[in-house]
Structure 1
Amino acid sequence: MFVLAELEDTVKIEPSAFIKRDHDAITDVLNEKYANKVVQEVGLCICVFDILSTSDRYILYGDGCSYVKVTFRMTVFRPYIGEVLTGKIKSCSPQGIRVSMEFFDDIHLPKETLLDGTSFDPAEQIFVWNYEGEKLFMDIDERIRFKVLAENFADATPSVHPSTSAAGRRQSVADTTASNDLVANSTKIPPYALTGTLQQDGLGLCSWWGS
């Protein structure tokens, strides 16, 4: 579930941080930049694990800040395909189940990957597994065990395009910002997402299996 990823970056240290030890100052900057953020084809960064090497510091003229090239290892959340994980049901829709692991919510179990005999209850807004004549409800916040089926990285970098009004004039900054926010909210794609399945013995609600 968690792996170590080796990364390189140039760290900018503000003069106010010069009183810190080099290791602490560099670690603080890296954690602020990377923690809880997705690096493409790497995964969700959690925190700095260790620092492998640093270059000599240099200061740019008229800047006052110190710069240092760093090679470091980051603790990253990136389960391997086929790994079995446990989370909680966050929400349900006719398309499937969304699972949360507290620190990561972009896990989807499509309805096609649920157990045979599972159906969506529109009144309760949950899925129900019909097992040997008994209805087993998959309630919100129930602990659920699933297997990772696929992962997907998407470029979530916002793009801003010049826009004009109906009269042909350029929109104001406020108008442009509002339009961009509306588009972003309506087409939001997570930078990193997992797809899971329940189609294997031992998967499903933990309460079904006595654990």
Structure 2
Amino acid sequence: MFEITILKDTIPIHPSDFGLPPEQALIAELNKKYANRVLHGVGLCVCTFDITEAGEGKVRYGDGFLWYKVIFRMVVFRPFPSEIILAKVKSVDAEGMRLTLGFFDDVYVPSAYLPAPSAFDISRRQHFWVPPGDEEDPPNLLDVEEDRRMYIEAGDQVRVRVESDEFYDDEPGPPKATEGVTVQAIPRRSPYSIICSMSEQGLGPAAWWPSDDGDEEMDDG
């Protein structure tokens, strides 16, 4: 789920921080710049792991800052494909589900990746799965008796498998005009999102698959 990546940058140190050890001041500035920031093709930056190389600080004309060329290692959140992660259902609609990890909310399970057979109950605004049974399922799953339905509700703790991730680099700004016609702006997308599935045995709400070691718990913080 977390990995270490090597990055390079040139970091300024304000004169008010000249009294600090250079490494301490640089790590503080790196965290200020990168923490909770998505790097395209890399992932969500969490914090600076360490600095592997730092040049000598140089003053640029006109600003008074000390500028350091640094090579550093950053802790990055980016689950790998097929990794099993534990999350909570944040919201549900007919298209699927949005999950949260507590610190990251752009995790999605499209309806096609839900357990089969499943359907969306409009009256309850929830998806449900119909486990195998002795009776043959009707063509319309909404005709299945309610006591056979296994609902997935907002707040449920679920195990999901990472299928893929997506990066977007939408350009900010007002709608563009092409040949005098204003093109409506596309709603801004999250810069990084993760697509997951729960269509295999052992995936889905943790309550469906009790373990001998006791249920895993996910922190709310």
The aligned residue for residue 193 of structure 1 is 193
The aligned residue for residue 9 of structure 2 is 9
2:167 pairs with 1:153: yes
The aligned residue for residue 175 of structure 1 is none
The aligned residue for residue 70 of structure 1 is 70
Deviation per CA, 1:159-182: give whole Å up to 9, x if none: 45777xx9xxxxxxxxxxxxxxx9
Q: Secondary structure at the match of 1:91?
A: strand
Deviation per CA, 1:19-74: give whole Å up to 9, x if none: 21111110111001110010011100000011100001100122111100010000
Question: Where in structure 2 are the equivalents of 1:100-111 lying within 5 Å?
Answer: 100-111=100-111
What's the TM-score once normalised by structure 2's chain length? 0.82
The aligned residue for residue 130 of structure 1 is 130
Deviation at 1:114, TM superposition (A): 0.4
Measure the CA separation in 2 of the matches of 1:62 and 1:23.
24
* Partner AA of 2:149 in structure 1: K
Question: Where in structure 2 are the equivalents of 1:1-211 lying within 5 Å?
Answer: 1-131=1-131, 132=133, 134-159=148-173, 183=185, 187-210=187-210, 211=215
Inter-CA distance 89–56: structure 2 relative to 1 (3 Å threshold): same
* Partner AA of 1:87 in structure 2: A
Q: Secondary structure at the match of 1:90?
A: strand
Inter-CA distance 24–109: structure 2 relative to 1 (3 Å threshold): same
Measure the CA separation in 2 of the matches of 1:82 and 1:162.
39
State the aligned residue count. Answer: 193
Measure the CA separation in 2 of the matches of 1:115 and 1:10.
48
Q: Flag structure 1 segments of 5+ consecutive residues without an equivalent.
A: 167-181
Q: Flag structure 2 segments of 5+ consecutive residues without an equivalent.
A: 134-144, 216-221
* Partner AA of 1:53 in structure 2: E
* Partner AA of 1:27 in structure 2: I
Q: Secondary structure at the match of 2:149?
A: strand
* Partner AA of 2:153 in structure 1: D
CA RMSD, Structure 1 to Structure 2 (Å)? 1.9
More helix per residue: 1
Deviation at 1:157, TM superposition (A): 3.9
Measure the CA separation in 1 of the matches of 2:48 and 2:170.
23
The aligned residue for residue 170 of structure 1 is none
Deviation per CA, 1:109-139: give whole Å up to 9, x if none: 0100100121112222221112236211111
Inter-CA distance 85–160: structure 2 relative to 1 (3 Å threshold): same
Deviation per CA, 1:53-112: give whole Å up to 9, x if none: 000110012211110001000000011111110100000110001111011111110100
Deviation at 1:156, TM superposition (A): 3.2
